Amino acid sequence: MTAEQFIIDDRDNNLFRVNREAFTSEDVLQRERKEIFGKTWLYVGHESEIPGKNDFQTRDVGGRPVIFNRDRHGDVRVLLNTCLHRGSSVCRHSSGNAKIFTCFYHGWAYRNSGELVNVPGNEDYKSAPAAVYKGLQSPAQVDSYILEGTHKYSLKANWKLLVENSIDGYHAKSVHHTYFEMMMELGATPPMLGKETVNGVAPAGMGTEFPNGHATLMYPANGLPLATDSVKQTLANLRAQAEQAFGENYATAMFGLARNSVFFPSLILIDLSFGLTLRTFYPVSPSETLVTGWQIIPKGVDEEFVKYRINNALTFWGPAGLATPDDVEALEQAQKGFGARGEVGWSDVSKGMGKPVPAANDELQMRSWWREWNRRITGQQLPTEGTSFV
């Protein structure tokens, strides 16, 4: 093993291991900030969070402070929240409505479309700053759902552990058994107990790999949900609308399959029968991660359906729910375990390796993500396993 080797990818013996230094090293984190968070597309926000002209939200994205806003024309913008003069924030509020952002330090002012429009003492500059500095920076745009509520939390674990956890079907029965037991007592049936194949996906589900580190696990959503007749009718109506607009195969894929997806590096979309959550997260240190999660609800549904989705989200993903706190505990315990990396230096991510069609509780999707991470950090290109599913 060389000093640069973080991955063992042994196809002959179906062995895949990750060096635990990747989860603990400050040097690795600095390289990640430069080579991953500095060079990949990162999720900023959803357009429904800023519904009106001049609305804004501020947040940190991959270590960069940004303003996510609509300008006076209603166009979506993303501006770096730093003054071109001496670096101070030009917006100190978490959300609001503003046409102008003014730096608290020296009063430089910018339109919410980014242009520098006022510099106190402008006459004292030989070159007008407004001509030299074009203004703040620009945009990203996204599509059309309503996001109800935001869940922010931190965990004392490396951010890559949460990537693994978010696309890990293997841990569900052991870590989340309390949730499944409760739901079964109430009359629900977990999806993994279903017997039907949906769109070519067997009951055991499957892991998938895509280019550039994106990956998904999916399985038939055959479970019996806890829902009123009204909610079930809303779901049936949504499916009928999708079928009419996009065809039966699309509607079946959307409503008949549950999926956990990662968009490299750290955007997670979890689409289950009882809810749809969007999650993004960034490292604070090798052993601390900040997480933001949103619930996605289709536009135009009735209030009962909205309450149903919110209640499900709180029960499973919420701060006092039966999933997220257990996941956090599992990941923090793993991070503690890495203290023994001098003696036990490698984590195993080999489950399902060599199978023609890995199941949802195998680890293909994690290996796909790790190969892209490895390429960006070390420059070493490892071949895929050739099991992508479209």
Helix 159-166 and helix 324-337: axis angle, to 10°?
Answer: 130
The pTM score is 0.86
Per-residue pLDDT of the chain (390 residues; tens, 9 = 90+): 444 689 999 999 999 999 999 999 999 999 999 999 999 999 998 888 999 999 999 999 988 899 999 999 999 999 999 998 888 999 999 999 999 999 999 999 999 999 898 888 765 554 444 444 444 544 333 344 555 568 899 999 999 999 999 999 988 888 888 887 887 777 766 555 556 777 778 778 889 999 999 999 998 876 556 666 777 788 888 888 888 888 888 888 888 888 999 999 999 999 887 788 999 999 999 999 999 999 888 877 888 888 888 888 888 888 888 889 999 999 999 999 999 998 999 999 999 999 988 999 999 999 999 999 999 999 999 988 876 544
Per the document, the length of the chain is: 390
The rounded Cα 70 to chain-centroid distance in angstroms is 23
CATH class for the region spanning 146-378: alpha beta
Look-up of token digits 């079946």: 252
What fold does the segment set 48-132 form as a domain?
A: Rieske Iron-sulfur Protein (2.102.10)
Could you tell me the residue ranges of all domains in the chain? 48-132, 146-378
